[in-house]
Amino acid sequence: MGAIADIQFVIEQYTLNDDLLILAGDNLFDFELTSFVSFFAKHKKDSITTHEMNDIERLKRTGVIEVDKNSKVISFEEKPKHPKSKLAVPPFYIFSKLTIPLIKQYLVEGNNPDAPGNLIPWLIRHREVYAYKFSGERYDIGTIESYRECQKIFSDKSQ
């Protein structure tokens, strides 16, 4: 059905009506989720994660945001040809329970039901979204090549 449609399916299947933490399963990370949850609790607004990435080619394969001085997301582009910033966005989100009905609205409007990053540009036009900047590493293991690269990194770290 696509990642966003799958999220909506789970919301309906389990009658979810609470804040929702969404983590893409094809990513590994080493930051504390509790810090991200605390950030969400402090702002009481939809929150996404971000981290600085200096590799332009990698930025072209992920979501990229711009934020204001208060960490409010002011733009989001999925897999940009010309990234506007160095702030990469892995698909780790916390949505307020007030946002949950908007996921269905997004789908009913005929928007792309796949890749969670497609939802964020639409969402920032409807609600305030804030970016939690983490330090640490995030590894995308969504392709066999990136998975093998990650295996090598972790193998080297264990020696």
What are the residue ranges in the chain where pLDDT is below 70?
A: 158-159
pLDDT of residue 157: 73
DSSP states of the chain as a string? --HHHHHHHHHHHTT--S-EEEE-TTEEE-S-HHHHHHHHHHHTSEEEEEEE---HHHHTTSEEEEE-TT-BEEEEEES-SS-SSSEEE-SEEEE-TTTHHHHHHHHHTT---S-GGGHHHHHTTTS-EEEEE--S-EEE-SSHHHHHHHHHHHHHHH-
pLDDT of residue 159: 67
Q: Where are the domains of the chain?
A: 3-158
pLDDT of residue 66: 98
Which CATH fold would you assign to the domain 3-158?
Spore Coat Polysaccharide Biosynthesis Protein SpsA; Chain A (3.90.550)
45-84 confidence digits (pLDDT tens): 999 999 999 999 989 988 999 999 999 999 999 999 999 9
Write down the pTM of the prediction: 0.89
